[in-house]
Structure 1
Amino acid sequence: MSVIERVEVVLPGAVEPEGLQLRHGPVPAAGAGQVLVAMEATGVSFAEQQMRRGRYYDQPPFPFVPGYDLVGRVAAVGPGVGPHLLGTRVAALTKTGGWASHVLLDAADVVPVPEGLGAAEAETAVVNGITAWQMLHRKARIRAGQIVLVHGANGGVGTVLVQLARSAGVKVIGTASARHHEALRRLGVTPVDYRTEDVPARVRELAPDGVDAVFDHVGGRSVVDSWRLLAKGGTLVSYGSAATRDDSGSKQMPVLKILGRVWAWQALPNGRRAYFYNVWGGRAFAKDRFRSRLRADLGQVFEAMRRGEITARVAAELPLSRVADAMRLAESGTVNGKVVLVP
């Protein structure tokens, strides 16, 4: 009789992708209020790319198991959890720990995946989808007829952002390298090549009165340019510091600089708003509210997928044993969509 074991990917330190390690061990038992999820799909996001360099601003100490989100089936429930969850396909935000064949989670943190959505398909919309939805609807509060600028429109978050915005009747300008422009045009996006064009000048040509919102994951100088491109009453939502991914020095400083700018801009009496979005914002102080919003907003994203308003963009599916290949592919900048890991 074969014994099921747990397989996980360990990040031992700031290493090249080949330095990621596979570790085998027993499958853990679910404790009170917990569920054991058999992972079906987990993603390689920009957060893990920063983590392997030691550059994610609040990552845990090495060594640890990466994996920002996952989709899987509930394989076991602990005391206090209803048996109705057994066998249910669920999604969860984890920040770390998702790159494993079996993951223990609080039952209150899992969100049911609607019937008809596959595991890899749903996985592309977990952290990317909740981030896109909340930035669009809870921060920028977009309305039909507005114009927005999405940096990295071909990326994991960007791809979902532009589709949700278009489905809401919003015009989208998206930055990306030229190889992705045709795909963006098919989504109804006006592309701008950040490598060969003067992005602020080109955006001003397309939106002379400014844009109603900018979604900026780049950080650095880009945040300042994004703020200056806003129309009266517009909103800047910064949600990362991709420009500093390969820098050395403090991993917190790039985010602290963005926060400093955001706080200063918020104080200006010019009718514009600025936010630094963190998907985990408020969890430490209002966990029940965080969970309620996560369930509601991710549910909206999954329904948008079922209606065909969002098309899952799976760039590749690779097993956990090929995590180094998956990381290199995700970091290559050549893919359109998300790289997904499977057991």
Structure 2
Amino acid sequence: MTDQTLVQVVLPGIVEPEDLQVRRAARPQPGAGRITIAMEATGVSFAEQQMRRGRYYDQPPFPFVPGYDVVGRVYAVGAGVDPALLGRRVAVLTKVGGWASHVPADARDAVEVPEGLTAEQAETVVVNGITAWQMLHRKARVSAGQTVLVHGASGGVGQVLTQLALAAGVTVIGTASVRNHDALRAAGVLPVDRTANVPEQVRELAPDGVDAIFDHVGLSSVVECWPLLRRGGTLISYGTAATRDDTGSKQLPVLKILARTTLWTLLPNGRSASFFNIWAGKKLNQDRFRARLRADLTEVFGALRRGDITTSIAARLPLAQAGEALRLAESGTVSGKIVLTP
């Protein structure tokens, strides 16, 4: 591979992980206002698992390069971009395009990674950290002394979410497989068996209800847990994990949740519900969206440096083995972030 070669992993269609394609091409120069990032770490998230099946609700048409986020050094800058950015380690939320040796981005989307964090450490909290922080502090606006229910407390977003909540003085009830309960207890979480009657277990732990619920499972879970909210509480849905292997419309599961949560919020019941979309508001006000994302990711990086949150890396694989990494992520046999490196 020459110094000017771009390497990308391409998702050609609805294929098995082993059928991802590696593409090599000449590396383009960044245009005005843009930068090129030499990737040091990118991750495998649930989004890519859905995209492989054509199930992510607003994914681009095939073929495309997956990769929801990327961390790396600024390799080149276009016209109008401060050349002082060259060589600096930055993180960018991309949605797609991160699975590449060099990733183009708008310079305004780059958030500098603070000293003391490695690229891999930073990668573990980009999409997961922003999602957790915004749901917890911008949507639910939790405060010390409250109690929340986190579905998938051992998952990517769930781990960060529970730790941020605990750092804020919040009591956390978390659903997970029984094999993960000891680790949750050690972290200060009240574990609930996700395979048993979840509402019954939660009521035993919080007889008066919970102040917030964070659900990534889908509509059936949202409906089941809505009655667990106390007055003034809020339910935030942020995924449809239960539909990952379904067929048919990829938008319908999200639309059903949007309709249900909107109806509940309009009713005079003293509770609210919503569907969280990390990209909400970007088209309406890009400057505000960027400022909010920069502020929130900076907060998450700070929490990581202080030790308020810790993350684990389940596996590190080279970019060319992205298919193997995706298969491992889909197996459900590992806990922690799967990271791709150059």
TM-score range, shorter chain: over 0.9
Letter in 2 for 1:48: E
- Kept after mapping to 2: 8 A contact 1:180/1:336: no
Give the drift of 1:333: 1.5
The separation in 2 between residues aligned to 1:186 and 1:88, in whole angstroms, is 37
Q: Secondary structure at the match of 1:43?
A: strand
CA–CA separation in structure 2 for the residues paired with 1:335 and 1:277: 26
Q: CA deviation at 1:220?
A: 2.4
How far apart in 2 are the matches of 1:83 and 1:218?
44
Tell me which amino acid in the other structure corresponds to 1:258: I
Runs of 5+ consecutive residues of structure 1 not aligned to the other structure:
none
Deviations 1:129-160 (A, max 9, x none): 00000000000000101110000111110010
- Shift in Å, 1:226: 2.0
Answer yes or no: is the 8 Å Cα contact 1:72–1:90 preserved in 2: yes
The answer for the alignment partner of 1:268 in structure 2 is: 267
Corresponding letter in the other structure for 1:3: D
The 2-side partners of 1:280 and 1:186 are apart by 34
How far apart, in 2, do the equivalents of 1:165 and 1:338 lie? 20
Q: Aligned equivalents of 1:250 and 1:84: distance in 2?
A: 46
1-structure distance, mates of 2:296, 2:312: 19
Paired residues for 1:314-325 under 5 Å:
314-325=313-324
In the alignment, is residue 5 of structure 1 matched against residue 5 of structure 2? yes
Partner of 2:247: 248
Match for residue 191 of structure 1? 191
What is the rounded CA distance, in whole Å, between the counterparts of 1:310 and 1:4 in structure 2? 38
Q: Which residue of 2 aligns with 1:208?
A: 207
Q: Using the alignment, how far apart are the partners of 1:203 and 1:271 within structure 2? A: 20
Q: Specify the alignment match of 1:337 in structure 2.
A: 336
Sequence identity (%): 70
Give me the CA root mean square deviation: 1.0
CA distance 1:40–1:21, shift in 2 (3 Å): same
Shift of 1:335: 1.7
8 Å CA contact retained: 1:153, 1:159: yes
Asked whether the equivalents of residues 211 and 230 of structure 1 are also in contact (C-alpha less than 8 Å), the reply is: yes
Aligned residues: 342
Aligned to 2:216: 217
Report the 3-state secondary structure (helix = DSSP H, G, I; strand = E; otherwise coil) of the residue aligned with 1:149: strand
- TM-score, normalised via structure 2 length: 0.99
Asked if the contact 1:210–1:231 (Cα under 8 Å) also holds between the matched residues in 2, the reply is yes
Amino acid at match of 2:271: R
1:116 alignment partner in structure 2: 116
Code of the aligned partner of 1:249: G
Runs of 4+, deviation exceeding 3 Å:
1-4
Using the alignment, how far apart are the partners of 1:46 and 1:149 within structure 2? 20
Partner residue in 2 for 1:159: 159
- Matched with 2:89 is 89
Between 1:183-192 and 1:280-289, the stretch displaced more is 183-192
